[in-house]
Structure 1
Amino acid sequence: MVGEIANFAAYAFAPALLVTPLGALSIIFSAVLAHFILKEKLHMFGVLGCALCVVGSTTIVLHAPHERNIHSVKEVWELATEPGFIVYFCAVVILVSLLIFRYAPRYGQSHMIVYIGICSLMGSLTVMSVKAVGIALKLTFEGMNQFIYFQTWIFTTIVITCCLLQINYLNKALDIFNTAVISPVYYVAFTSFTIFASIIMFKDWDTQTPTQIASELCGFVTILSGTFLLHKTKDMGNKPAEPTVHPIPQHPPNKGTDDTLDI
């Protein structure tokens, strides 16, 4: 709970292009804590996966864009109502509607990408709205009340709606498919769509050089590699339980059952 609140607050002070990929650090902490507390052995591939996540995160932090100076939630609304993001928003709503009403009833039980697609697409809108609400809260605490504007309440409604949809369909995916497969795929899809939405709405790459953009992409790919490696090999350090062999009971032959006839 504390971690989610801190993550929510981070969006008010840093660009989503920086905050979202750093979610991979929670995977590292989970692996390390499991090693020391739950005595789950962190094998060589696990250490390599953690190292890749750290290197990728450091690369993104060093080359991340600066946060825009926003003085009112109305400025966020203006960014959200520009043609580029409106097209993205409408495309997400159409795709999610198709996945929910057409493909989920038919293929949801057999193709995890249906539920993951719903959660990831809605997640990108959630993060953009969370960032708007976070900025509104930050400015309100600084003495400029932003909750007198209807835009703040629209962003809040979008956050609640998208979160409920994400929780619902992510739970459905976890009930059907293996968590070890769902977690990395969902992380990749959610982070990718969120970064794409942030680039469109907040124009994070407009003030950056091609070298900085390439470095951020390399850092992102490095994090993805470490995440997949951690999830793919997380059970390698645990010795499988030896199967219990039950001896076959030996029954003594019953007397008087000889098929031969005495003459």
Structure 2
Amino acid sequence: MAGVEYSAVGGDSYTENLIGTLLAIFGNLLVSIAVSIQKYSHVTLAGTKDPRAFYRTKTWWCGLALTVLGEAANFVSYAFAPLSLIAPLNAVSVIASSILGFIFLREKWKPKEFLKRYVLSFLGCILTVSGTYLFATFGPNYHQKLTAENIVKQVVGWPFLLYVLLEIITFCFLLYFYKQRNANYLVVILLLVALLGSVTVITVKAVAGMLVLSVQGTMQLNYPIFYVMFVCMVATVVFQATFLSQATHLYDSSVIACVNYILSTSFAIVAGAIFYLEFNHEDILHICMFLLGCLSCFLGVFLITKNRKRLKAFEPYVTMDMSQGNEGIPTIHDKGWRAVQPDYNGSFSYGALVNNDSVAPATLPEPDHNQLAVTPSPTAAPYSSADLKND
């Protein structure tokens, strides 16, 4: 687009790509470690009475601090590298989470499930790492200066206006079917998330770029476009979180992670190509190799998340052991109670902690109903008051 300034191709552009890529990888690794630490904190405190006990643990606060640091690194990475290069790097968090599950959460698989789960996950990691190398090597290497003037020119340009119009129409169409027709399909919900996410990454890159330029001495915070982009960024993030929360209540988290990564990454690449013109100066070979790397990452993430264990939801139960006193019905959090709980396999049962089909239930002798029945004789005299007194 005429009037838009670009940085020179060469060492500076390569250095900026390298800085952005390393920041994104570092940020995704930190977020994965933080989530695993916080989950470990929740697991260790699962039997406590206080539902907010994890606030008093150092591990949970350590995880929160790492989350903030990781998200900050991800945010800054958008100011240096193109959108199309940063968005697929979310696959790093998928790989890290699958590895950290063994370290922090001690996730184990049965021998019968080894070939089914572990080998596929290992193959998925190889594909994801290979894909990351491909799109990082052949990704777009041309940068535009993220000044307020350049961003305004891109916002009012006809390619972006047409893209926004198509997004609004598609979003309203999907939202109508989701709300009015009860089309609670996973693809519908995550398409809504991806459409919002494409706007989010555009605004995140704009805000981060203007902040970095301001820190470097070229003040950009006195332009209204900065605050417009900031408000759009916050609004789209909030609505994304809302739709993702609704999806987690309906579908398995592993499936959500896979589909959301594929859709959000695809829409982010398209948004970067349209708004920031990231592929305008790339040859067809580089574009094809970049797309091949993205497809390899998509397949790798699919294999990693395909056989991930599903967590079984807690099923409520009524304890049958009331021998400790008359202090009311005990709960799962009450210490000292020998509460009878659902068995390990997740089925609803009373009287045993683990199902054991090899133990036959105790049988009681069948009573002789003929002996128990008492038939009054027609000749028998009724009880008199004297008899009752003698008894």
Q: Same fold (TM over 0.5)?
A: yes
Could you tell me whether the CA contact under 8 Å between 2:142 and 2:281 is conserved in 1? no
User: Which stretch shifts more, 60-69 or 22-31?
Assistant: 60-69
- After the TM superposition, which residues 1-263 of structure 1 pair with which residues of structure 2 at under 5 Å, given as runs? 1-41=68-108, 43-70=118-145, 72-100=147-175, 102-108=176-182, 110-235=184-309, 244-245=355-356, 247-257=360-370
Structure 1: runs of 5 or more not aligned: 259-263
What is the letter of the counterpart of residue 48 of structure 1? L
Question: What is the TM-score when the length of structure 1 is the normalising length?
Answer: 0.90
Distance of 1:108 and 1:6 partners within structure 2: 38
Tell me, what secondary structure is at the counterpart of 2:280?
coil
Following superposition, the deviation at residue 110 of structure 1 comes to: 3.2
Deviation string, structure 1 residues 131-166 (Cα, Å, up to 9, x no partner): 000011000101111110011111111101111111
Could you tell me whether the CA contact under 8 Å between 2:85 and 2:136 is conserved in 1? yes
| RMSD after superposition | 2.0
Distance of 2:256 and 2:79 partners within structure 1: 28
The number of residue pairs the alignment matches comes to 254
Higher RCO (CA < 8 A, seq sep 6+) = 1
Following superposition, the deviation at residue 14 of structure 1 comes to: 0.3
Could you tell me whether the CA contact under 8 Å between 2:178 and 2:184 is conserved in 1? no
Distance of 1:93 and 1:64 partners within structure 2: 28
Could you tell me whether the CA contact under 8 Å between 1:128 and 1:198 is conserved in 2? yes
Tell me, what secondary structure is at the counterpart of 1:244?
coil
Following superposition, the deviation at residue 60 of structure 1 comes to: 0.7
Could you tell me whether the CA contact under 8 Å between 1:108 and 1:115 is conserved in 2? no
Following superposition, the deviation at residue 108 of structure 1 comes to: 4.6
Following superposition, the deviation at residue 75 of structure 1 comes to: 0.6
Deviation string, structure 1 residues 193-252 (Cα, Å, up to 9, x no partner): 11011111112111111111110010000000000001112239xxxx667136433121
Following superposition, the deviation at residue 255 of structure 1 comes to: 3.4
Could you tell me whether the CA contact under 8 Å between 1:107 and 1:114 is conserved in 2? no
Deviation string, structure 1 residues 27-81 (Cα, Å, up to 9, x no partner): 0111111122222247111111111111100111111112414062221221222
Tell me, what secondary structure is at the counterpart of 2:367?
coil
Deviation string, structure 1 residues 105-124 (Cα, Å, up to 9, x no partner): 24456312221111100100
Distance of 2:192 and 2:309 partners within structure 1: 29
Following TM superposition, where does structure 1 have runs of at least 4 consecutive aligned residues deviating by more than 2 angstroms?
97-100, 106-110, 245-249, 255-258
Larger radius of gyration: 2
Question: What is the TM-score when the length of structure 2 is the normalising length?
Answer: 0.62
Distance of 2:192 and 2:274 partners within structure 1: 20
Tell me, what secondary structure is at the counterpart of 2:365?
coil
Distance of 1:90 and 1:158 partners within structure 2: 16
* CA 1:14–1:67: 2 relative to 1, 3 Å: farther
Tell me, what secondary structure is at the counterpart of 2:140?
coil
Structure 2: runs of 5 or more not aligned: 1-67, 109-116, 311-343, 346-353, 372-391
* CA 1:250–1:89: 2 relative to 1, 3 Å: same
What is the letter of the counterpart of residue 11 of structure 1? Y
* CA 1:28–1:107: 2 relative to 1, 3 Å: farther
Could you tell me whether the CA contact under 8 Å between 1:45 and 1:230 is conserved in 2? yes
